[in-house]
Amino acid sequence: MANPLLRLAEAYVPTWCKKKQVEVLFRITADALESPMPETSRLGYKGLLQSYAAFTSDEVLRLKEGEGFDAAKQRLYDEAYALGQKLRRLLRVGDSDAYRLVALLYKNIEIEIQGSIPGELTVPRCFFSDTYIPEVCEFMSALDNGIIGGICNGGELVFNERITEGSCCCKAVFTA
């Protein structure tokens, strides 16, 4: 039987809930980058998404100029993995519903994802692809790898193609 919470969320996610999701991502990303989070309380959902895209892009590029790039990427992965595990527990998501949760979470941040977990994943549309350059996108994939790995109780996400590198879509493989 399909998870009733996921069924409900797949039908409708209120904007305030999507905004809360972006706020959580913003917080864990700022922590991983050891950067103060900008003031965002007055922003709506779309404004918050745009602010997150600009913040992550600016901060990753700033970090790339200095030291600690790899350590920050590992912190981002670790924070995201813990978040994925927490979501799995709170929403009582089993292995059979892992893909559904991932697809829903990504839809909430304006990323369309298709495929299966484990297996091949395709992202034909990504909100962040207009803002991110390849280096930022590659760094931020630690977030994707961590969240999906946490939801699935382990595994690894490896991208083969990215929109930010000129492909028409992102292609990745998640192995459990």
pTM of the predicted structure, to 2 decimals: 0.93
HEC readout, 138-150? HHHHHHHHHHHHH
Quote the DSSP letter at residue 153.
Answer: T
User: How much is the average pLDDT of 124-128?
Assistant: 97
CA-closest candidate to residue 30, choices 60, 50, 68: 60
Does the pLDDT at position 30 exceed 70?
A: yes
pLDDT of 171 reads 98
pLDDT of 105 reads 96
Rounded Cα distance, 13 and 32, in Å: 27
Rounded Cα distance, 132 and 130, in Å: 6
Contacts of 86 (CB under 8 A, 6+ apart): 150
Residue with tokens 């981002």, as numbered in its chain: 76
**118 cis-preceded (ω within 30 degrees of 0):** yes
User: What band does 169 get if pLDDT is binned at 50, 70 and 90?
Assistant: very high
pLDDT in tens, 33-42: 999 999 999 9
Residue with tokens 């919470």, as numbered in its chain: 5
User: What band does 1 get if pLDDT is binned at 50, 70 and 90?
Assistant: low
**Mean pLDDT score of the chain:** 94
